Amino acid sequence: MKGVVFNLLEEAVTRSFGPDTWDVLLDASGVSGAYTSLGNYPDSEIEALVTAAGQALSLDRDAVLRWFGINAMPVLAELYPAFFTSAADARSFVEGVNTIIHAEVRKLYPGAECPHFRMHDAGGDLVMDYISSRNMCALAQGFVEGAAAWYGQPVDFQHTACTTHGDAHCTFKLAWPLAEAVAA
């Protein structure tokens, strides 16, 4: 996992709960906390931090990952405003994750192993298949919900298939009711 992901988690935790909470999570998880954005770190370290956060907040892994995705989005918007200003709305932003965002991530952070999303339109809804060996579909959900919030366009998010239930990949069905109402 690239250090930038750890940096985002630290910033999200610090903004929401203060720097002391980040230190508590580091102590509870047993990781060093010294993450450079370009560095590569074991996935087990992000999992240890997520587990520590879950124990501290009485949340399960998916709830912590979803929270992280939602709360990392404002940080990403500050660090990489061009990603956000180049998309007219939340759906366009999400549709550009493979071709724009992850392509740029791979340039900025060589060796990054980004998840891949297969997307197609289904009667106006966006259907996304999340493909990753990390099984962090809840983080992807949080990122989608965070993007929707950033654009002021709440998303109707349905998780219709999941690897944790034995499916080959995770599938999301997304709709933006307010954006659709404005367009109509």
Integer Cα distance of 110 and 166 in angstroms: 32
Res. 184: pLDDT tops 60: no
**pLDDT reading at 172 higher than 60:** yes
Per the CB < 8 A criterion, the answer to whether 152 and 88 are in contact is no
Map out the domains of the chain as residue ranges: 3-175
Q: Is the pLDDT of residue 3 over 60?
A: yes
The predicted pLDDT at position 130 comes to: 93
**Is 3-175 assigned to CATH 3.40.50.1370?**
no
Predicted pLDDT of residue 179: 59
pLDDT tens-digit series, residues 48-81: 999 999 999 999 999 999 999 999 999 999 998 9
Mean pLDDT of 146-168: 95
Residue 43 CA to residue 31 CA, distance in Å, equals 12
This prediction's pTM: 0.91
Pair 32, 60: CB distance under 8 Å: no
Cβ pair 17, 26 in contact under 8 A: no
> What per-residue confidence (pLDDT) applies to 181?
53
Distance (Å, whole) CA 93 – CA 58: 32
Least confident of 7-21, 41-55, 86-100, 148-162: 86-100
For the cut 90, the answer to whether the pLDDT of residue 107 exceeds it is no
Could you give the dihedral angle defined by the CA atoms of residues 17, 23, 27 and 30, in that order, rounded to the nearest 10 degrees? Answer: 100
> Of all residues in the chain, what percent carry a pLDDT higher than 90?
71
Question: For residue 100, what pLDDT is reported?
Answer: 75
- Note the pLDDT of residue 97: 86
